[in-house]
Structure 1
Amino acid sequence: MEVSQRVRAILSFVQVADAGSFAAAGRALGISSAAVSKNVAALERGLGVRLMNRTTRTLSLTEEGAVFLRQARVGLDALDAAVDVLAEHRAQVAGRVRISTSAALGRDQLMRALPGLMTRYPELSVEVDFDDRVVDLVRDGYDLAIRGGQIADSALISRPICKFKLVLVAAPSYLARAGVPRVPDDLAGHKLLVRRFLGGKVPPWSFRGADGSVSSLELDGAALVLSAPESLAQAAADGLGIAQVGLHHAWPYLQSGQLRVVMPERHVAGAYEMVMVYPHRALVASRVRATIDYLLEAFARDEALHVPLSALASYAAKPASGAPPRSRSRVRG
């Protein structure tokens, strides 16, 4: 007899012993009295002993049946205890949560949120992998991931964290030496700091013309190419040139005065999304659900993730009056 059949048979036997009849046991279990009788008979065949003496009017336990009933109750009580322990475990929010995130988002956003999460849920343990590669959450055993961009996977639930924008920035010391660009053509005479993605692509910078058209600046002759976006912000703050970085990376440097925004009225900020994704399951473990809810709340309070573009005006670099425009162009319409 298979385990599932054996459990059904034991439940039927215990219910008959408690209710005193197959009909009453069937009503309690939501099955027919014939099904109850069949279950008990199968249990007896499997055990090789008679558990009940049956007449047309009465049921009585045999000696073996009384012994088995006592042990069956112990087993059923253990099952109930296991369910209670799991329910208590769910309520306590305990266990390990595995998170995958990029190095930049992990360092600047996730790490600031973890102390509060672990203080609220002291029985929770967190394992974080900082990796810019695309991971398979289910195959690699992650509970959730924090990434930039849309995740095209129907097996995952995607929760938006924020829309983040790109800005052009440079250090005041660099702009004092090289001048403040007024229009995209002026960038031809500047040192440009760019990001290379894992696939080797260096995306162009985009600009909006006076007529509303959008043009692209190819970056073949960049002075510095980095793969880590947070390093671009640091390189710009160190005075190495002009960089395009996520506003959330630049925000602390803008507030401290280490960076200024370049051409905010012409540069196209884009609309990129930061998301939290996790496997599509009907029942999400409480440790995972609590982590997701807490992190979403923490990210909603993170000022750097929600800076409006209108706030950039006060951080914009001002061209020196009378500065001559640059002449060489690399901008393509």
Structure 2
Amino acid sequence: MENDLDSSQRVRTILSFVQAADLGSFVAASRALGITSAAVSKNVANLEKALGVRLMNRTTRTLKLTDEGVAFLRQARIALEALDAAINTVTAQRVAPGGRVRISTSTAFGREHLLPVLPGLLSRYPALSIEVDFDDRVVDLVRDGYDFVFRGGNVPDSALVSRPICRLNTVVVASPEYLARHGMPRAPQELPTHKLIARRFLGGQVAPWYFRSENGSTNAFDPTNVAVLTLSAPEAVVQAACNGVGVAHVGVHLAWEHLLSGVLKVVLHRYHQPGTYEMVVQYPHRALLAPRIQATLDYLMEAFAENKSLHVPLEALDTYVA
């Protein structure tokens, strides 16, 4: 490619390819770039010729990336965003971070932990504007135009950068009122005789509860067929437990304030396995981040690090066992 295209040609061809891939057609890419669709097509063809591989298969109606095209698109975005970030970095020496930052977050984490720290962020950086989508579905960060996303659970490996925020340990809880009426479950085997509150993920699966057996192995308990109440929102599960509906399996970070106030008690603590869930922030790459994104990330990560409810040590739960 170095011998076939000069620097200015390389940028033009890469821009044409990225826009065509993102927008799905040469016509749409031509509108975005302010050139003709024929010019976009020629630029992509020249890029493919210089690389010696086909990047996309096109018909009269559709464009579909080849495997090589997918790999090149990922690297091209990094290069283009690094150029933007370099310009922004110079600009940032003269002005404070500003502009719009788009964030996707799960509903519970967003409401309980992200929203409370946004006023401080906006006060520190008045030129910022923050757009937050509360969505428990897995989103495509690049396709949907987010700067970064907050996600919890067993987060799969991906091409995205993942920075851990906290462990999402779980705990089994019930209200004192429920325990007074129905008694205390003394072992996991007694759970089917109790009123249970289950959580159903958006994909339809009910979250299992994990317990340690006497021999040290871990066993999964499926509450699907015995739960009296099944809810999709984790904060709703916590609220139902607070209301005395039954025994629930919830995140420590969501139950913590209710444990402190005595509204909830920990049950089956000696048997319960807290799981391997975590909360992370994800973004496309480690290349130079725009000042608006870097400033927002730094502020939020510092705030989350200081949020004690996100970092409750498991031994602290001993105090709140019923």
**1:275-314 alignment runs, 5 A limit:** 275-280=280-285, 282-314=287-319
| Residue 197 (structure 1) aligned with residue 181 (structure 2) | no
**Distance of 1:203 and 1:226 partners within structure 2:** 11
What residue number does 2:173 align with?
Answer: 169
| Residue 129 (structure 1) aligned with residue 152 (structure 2) | no
Deviations 1:234-261 (A, max 9, x none): 0000000000000000001101110000
**1:1-333 alignment runs, 5 A limit:** 4=8, 87-88=91-92, 91-149=95-153, 150-154=155-159, 156-219=160-223, 220-280=225-285, 282-317=287-322
**Distance of 2:289 and 2:228 partners within structure 1:** 48
TM-score with structure 1 length normalisation? 0.68
Offset of residue 282 of structure 1: 2.1
Q: Which structure has the larger Rg over C-alpha atoms? A: 1
Pair 258,126 (structure 1): closer, same or farther in 2 beyond 3 Å? same
- Helix, strand or coil at the partner of 1:126: strand
Alpha carbons 1:91, 1:286 under 8 Å: kept: no
- Helix, strand or coil at the partner of 2:288: coil
Pair 88,312 (structure 1): closer, same or farther in 2 beyond 3 Å? closer
Ranges in structure 2 where 5+ consecutive residues have no aligned partner: 1-5, 10-86
**Distance of 2:234 and 2:110 partners within structure 1:** 12
- Helix, strand or coil at the partner of 1:230: helix
Alpha carbons 2:88, 2:291 under 8 Å: kept: no
**Distance of 1:93 and 1:197 partners within structure 2:** 37
Offset of residue 191 of structure 1: 0.3
Pair 178,3 (structure 1): closer, same or farther in 2 beyond 3 Å? closer
**Distance of 1:85 and 1:311 partners within structure 2:** 44
Alpha carbons 1:90, 1:287 under 8 Å: kept: no
Offset of residue 271 of structure 1: 2.0
Deviations 1:98-136 (A, max 9, x none): 000010010011011111111110111000000001111
- Helix, strand or coil at the partner of 1:109: helix
- Helix, strand or coil at the partner of 1:225: strand
Offset of residue 277 of structure 1: 0.6
**Distance of 1:241 and 1:135 partners within structure 2:** 33
Deviations 1:293-328 (A, max 9, x none): 1110000011111001101111001xxxxxxxxxxx
**Distance of 2:95 and 2:183 partners within structure 1:** 60
**Distance of 1:222 and 1:84 partners within structure 2:** 53
Offset of residue 203 of structure 1: 2.6
TM-score with structure 2 length normalisation? 0.70
- Helix, strand or coil at the partner of 1:275: strand
Offset of residue 143 of structure 1: 0.3
**Distance of 1:112 and 1:246 partners within structure 2:** 19
Deviations 1:34-81 (A, max 9, x none): xxxxxxxxxxxxxxxxxxxxxxxxxxxxxxxxxxxxxxxxxxxxxxxx
Alpha carbons 2:89, 2:291 under 8 Å: kept: no
Deviations 1:249-290 (A, max 9, x none): 000110111000011110111121100011115221000000
Alpha carbons 1:143, 1:288 under 8 Å: kept: yes
What residue number does 1:59 align with?
Answer: none
**Distance of 1:3 and 1:214 partners within structure 2:** 58
Alpha carbons 2:171, 2:272 under 8 Å: kept: yes
Alpha carbons 2:92, 2:291 under 8 Å: kept: no
CA RMSD of aligned residues (A): 2.0
Identical residues among aligned pairs (%) = 57
- Helix, strand or coil at the partner of 2:241: helix
